[in-house]
Amino acid sequence: MPPITVIEHLLLHQKESPMATGRFTRLLNELILAAKIISREVNKAGLVDVLGFTGETNVQGEQVFKLDEFANRIMIHRLERAGVLCAMGSEENADLIEIPSAFPAGEYVLIFDPLDGSSNIESNVSIGTIFSIYRRKSPEGKSVTMDDVLQKGADQVAAGYFVYGSSTMMVYTTGQGVHGFTLDPSVGEFLLSHPEIKIPERGKIYSVNESYWNYWDAPTRQVVSYFKSPDNERGQPYNLRYIGSLVADFHRNLLSGGIFMYPADNRDPKKPRGKLRLMCEAAPLAMIVEAAGGMATDGKMRILDIEPQELHQRVPLFIGSKKDIQKVMAFYQKGS
């Protein structure tokens, strides 16, 4: 069978996907082009002046890496010109990014993390771009409101990520299955390599930063102890695998089965709900994992059911294989 590109795959599944429209196709094309440009810079990062810090901090209070800034700039530059968006939200920007009047506006809202895992750039670890797509609620032609943007994850029309590693991959869903495409540098296209991804019901890997043990509450410690114990339902300890790059940890567990955890902790009074962002990290990955047969929760509530109150809202995240997530929720319900 000849190789299938992302757009060809979308058109082949047009009957199953209400998103297979000209506008949505254009949006995906621009996302793909932006990712190709970012991938090129990631691959030569050590050869040009894109490593290190810019000297600035982002809205999260974190130092901004040069490649972070580059990726954010490329995403905004490409997507604001696509003619299909009415607004964007980026992890790197404090406020909503409205489409300049010089460009046509559309019906979609794009929320993204331009370069997830950027603290690993200088270690040559896999990093990625996460994106989430919503359809605006207000009529086209009127000013965008925060109600158009602050929608719960269940309202997403599509979500996905690009991972820049030994190869560059795109994984996405419109709610009808999860599909992975690998960038073939010889032809410059993402080609279908992982059709119909399904995460195993129970995994064998747990991913968490255990150095925060002393900052966790009792139910969280019980959860981690369960996965380390030979007396768990798997009958042997889970293997600890933690890269510290959300996209990379999630991608591995999606393919192999497992659970990624970033619980709330009391290290920083400014971040009582943990570090990860609901709209640009947790919600899009939750849509992907559910479409692949897994689950995502904050410990008590389904991630996709959380109503966001602000653009940069943080949330605890437990995401992965269905039976592993169900066990997490049982511990939190018991401890509440």
Residue 1: inside a domain: no
Quote the mean pLDDT of the chain.
89
Residue 200: inside a domain: no
> Please, is 187 exposed, middle or buried when counting C-beta atoms within 10 Å of its C-beta (0-12, 13-18, 19+)?
exposed
Residue 84: inside a domain: yes
Angle between helices 66-80 and 22-43 (to 10 degrees): 160
- Lookup: tokens for 330: 């049982």
**Single pTM value for the model:** 0.91
Say if residue 217 is in the same domain as residue 330.
yes
Say if residue 169 is in the same domain as residue 248.
no
Specify the pLDDT at position 47: 47
Task: Give the CA-trace dihedral at 115, 116, 119, 123, to 10 degrees.
Answer: -80
**Residue 329: how many other CB atoms lie within 10 Å:** 18
DSSP letters for 165-229: SSSEEEEEESSS-EEEEEEETTTTEEEEEE-S----SS-SEEE--GGGGGGS-HHHHHHHHHHH-
Say if residue 181 is in the same domain as residue 109.
yes
Say if residue 218 is in the same domain as residue 83.
no
Among the ranges given (3-12, 54-63, 145-154, 249-258), the one the predictor scored with the smallest mean pLDDT: 54-63
Say if residue 165 is in the same domain as residue 18.
yes
Say if residue 162 is in the same domain as residue 213.
no
Between 270 and 85, the higher pLDDT residue: 85
| Structural domain boundaries, residue 113 | 6-194
Q: Which residues pair with 314 in a beta bridge?
A: 277
Residue 199: inside a domain: no
Structural domain tally of the chain? 2
Q: Which residues pair with 158 in a beta bridge?
A: 133
Residue 172: inside a domain: yes
Say if residue 220 is in the same domain as residue 107.
no
Say if residue 146 is in the same domain as residue 210.
no
Say if residue 136 is in the same domain as residue 226.
no
CATH number at residue 248: 3.40.190.80
Rounded CA separation 336/331 (Å): 9
Residue 103 has pLDDT above 60, yes or no: yes
**Residue range 132-136: average pLDDT?**
95
CATH number at residue 30: 3.30.540.10
Say if residue 15 is in the same domain as residue 107.
yes
Residue 31: inside a domain: yes
Angle between helices 218-228 and 322-335 (to 10 degrees): 140
What percent of the chain is modeled with pLDDT above 90?
A: 67
Rounded CA separation 301/313 (Å): 15
Band of residue 3 on the pLDDT scale cut at 50, 70, 90: confident
Q: Which three-class secondary structure state does DSSP give residue 17?
A: coil
Say if residue 159 is in the same domain as residue 24.
yes
Specify the pLDDT at position 176: 86
Write down which residue in 133, 167, 194 finishes a domain.
194
Write down which residue in 159, 194, 229 finishes a domain.
194
Residue 184: inside a domain: yes
Q: What does the pLDDT look like over 7-40, one tens digit per residue? A: 888 887 765 555 556 889 999 999 999 999 999 8
Residue 13: inside a domain: yes
Write down which residue in 165, 194, 223 finishes a domain.
194
* CA-angle at 96, arms to 94 and 100, nearest 5°: 125
Say if residue 223 is in the same domain as residue 257.
yes
Residue 285 has pLDDT above 80, yes or no: yes
